Amino acid sequence: MAPYQETKFSHMPQQSVLPRGRATRFILGFFTVALLSSCGSALADASGGDLRAAVQNPISSLYSLPFKFQFDYGADNGEASFLNIQPVLPVTFGEWNFVNRIIAPLIDTPGQVTGIPSLPDPIPGDGATGLGDINYSLFLSPVKTGKVIWGAGPSITMPTATDRQLGSAKWSAGPTLVLLTQPKWGSMGILLRQLWSFAGDSDRNEVSQFLVEPFVNYNLDNGWFLISDSVLTANWRADSGNQWTVPVGGGVGRVFKLGNQAINSRLEAYYNVVRPDGAPDWQIAFTWQFLFPK
């Protein structure tokens, strides 16, 4: 999983030989081939095992560096694309793990697009590309766990966006919580987060955003697994009919090795069964995660 969840790295002019839609399809196709080709490049003994269980636990003691590429389709203003860089840095002190999770989004948006976790307060514009608001969460979790694994702590979003259209221009903070269990067949759990703005640009709307992320992993042979990892959000500042974004879907992934480097890759698709006005209909996401077991 990639608790909160989720491309194009430059805003292309009209005269570009690779238009916006073709660019996203090209990049998506490249990473789809990368996932499928992992069958041949993986080491024969890379079947997952304990490493796969650690990957599916968002608050494990595993160091990792995920890159999540997400492409949103069907929004009124066109396609939006994201590259979320999401390092996970756990530190153990005595009987407790302190799991640091960072989400640094690189965003390419054609204009105002609603219903996106990293853009709780989108504003009108003609499109922008750059860094969005960075989110940092710290989970305190016991080293010794029972059937239910848990972690809780603070989460803060910083107004680091390089363009007004790419962020909220607000400092926001609140609590976050993860609960999960890992039976023999895989893992299942939920992540919750609520953010409220407390400082920032007084001309921008206040932020009150709730995020809930239920996730299920079903393990298959040879490191493969099925996954559903929907990121549901509610913008409490919006009108009652435009608060919730609820995606439904899933995908497939594999834990394998390229040489000595352990990799987790996932390919997923989700349809927004509930969405605010102007939001995308569906999204496709590809994750390429470098794993660093202790």
Give me the chain's average pLDDT, please: 85
- Enumerate long-range contacts of 39-46, CB under 8 Å, 24 or more apart: 41/256, 41/258, 42/222, 42/223, 42/254, 42/256, 42/257, 42/258, 43/256, 43/257, 46/223, 46/255, 46/256, 46/257, 46/262
Name the domain count of the chain.
1
* pLDDT bucket at 83, cuts 50 / 70 / 90: very high
Which one has a higher pLDDT value, 200 or 124?
Answer: 200
pLDDT at 80: 86
Answer whether residue 192 is part of any domain: yes
The model's pLDDT over 222-254, given as tens digits with 9 standing for 90+, comes to 999 999 999 999 999 988 889 999 999 999 999
Residue 125's nearest CA partner among 107, 142, 150 is 107
* pLDDT bucket at 29, cuts 50 / 70 / 90: low
Residue 98, SS3 per DSSP: strand
Instruction: For the chain, give the percent of residues with pLDDT over 70.
Output: 83
pLDDT for 109 beyond 70:
yes
pLDDT at 4: 47
- How far apart are alpha carbons 99 and 224 in whole angstroms? 26
Answer whether residue 93 is part of any domain: yes
* pLDDT bucket at 37, cuts 50 / 70 / 90: low
pLDDT average, residue stretch 117-134:
85
pLDDT at 244: 94
DSSP character string of 145-163: --SSEEEEEEEEEE---SS
CB 54 within 8 A of CB 293: yes
Answer whether residue 2 is part of any domain: no
Which two tokens mark 7?
A: 């491309």
Determine the residue type at 60: S
Distances (CA, A) of 69 to 123, 267, 284: 23, 10, 8
pLDDT at 45: 42
The model's pLDDT over 99-108, given as tens digits with 9 standing for 90+, comes to 999 999 999 9
* pLDDT bucket at 114, cuts 50 / 70 / 90: confident
pLDDT at 1: 54
- How far apart are alpha carbons 280 and 270 in whole angstroms? 11
pLDDT for 199 beyond 70:
yes
pLDDT at 49: 59
Answer whether residue 11 is part of any domain: no
Structural domain span for residue 211: 20-292
- How far apart are alpha carbons 256 and 98 in whole angstroms? 27
pLDDT at 126: 83
Answer whether residue 68 is part of any domain: yes
* pLDDT bucket at 19, cuts 50 / 70 / 90: very low
Answer whether residue 145 is part of any domain: yes
pLDDT average, residue stretch 41-57:
66
Instruction: For the chain, give the percent of residues with pLDDT over 90.
Output: 66
pLDDT at 31: 56
Answer whether residue 78 is part of any domain: yes
* pLDDT bucket at 293, cuts 50 / 70 / 90: confident
CATH number, position 110: 2.40.160.40
Answer whether residue 128 is part of any domain: yes
pLDDT at 14: 36
Residue 249: how many CB atoms within 10 A of its CB? 18
pLDDT for 78 beyond 60:
yes
